[in-house]
Amino acid sequence: MSKRSTVFCDIDGTILVHRKFEDIHAVAAELTPDALRLNDWVDLGHHVILTTARPEYLREKTESELSELGLKWTRLIMDIGRGPRILINDEEPTGSGPKAMAFSIKRNSGLSCVTPDCLNN
């Protein structure tokens, strides 16, 4: 691997089946299809930064759920807005390709549509 990629990944509806915040303590966490693909990326040395609109007071519960389900990550950013997430990055002048990509997936459908080769740029 020449350069490590950074993957920003939402939690609810993306790697965990979506639950309302008020249901997080009452309803068990469930992985979406291919959610454990994140582990492969971490094992390959990529940075996996999980993002969530969950309030900061749910950090301990969130980290516990993720660990119990066997998910790996590099960082966890809590309490971000529920609106669209926008990634802005520059391109190298050599024209080696885009340095920012986005995948907007159907809620609870999992990561199967995210291709592993997108991390090899």
pLDDT at 121: 45
pLDDT at 119: 60
pLDDT in tens, the chain (121 residues): 467 889 999 999 999 999 998 899 999 999 999 999 999 999 999 999 999 999 999 999 999 999 999 999 999 999 998 888 888 888 888 877 777 778 888 888 888 777 656 665 4
pLDDT at 1: 45
- The per-residue DSSP string of 38-83 comes to HHHHHHTT-EEEEE--S-GGGHHHHHHHHHHTT---SEEE-S--SS
pLDDT at 120: 56
Counting every residue written for the chain, the total comes to 121
Domains and CATH numbers, the chain: 6-119 (3.40.50)
Indicate the pTM of the whole model.
0.85
Nearest CA to 32 among 50, 15, 9? 15
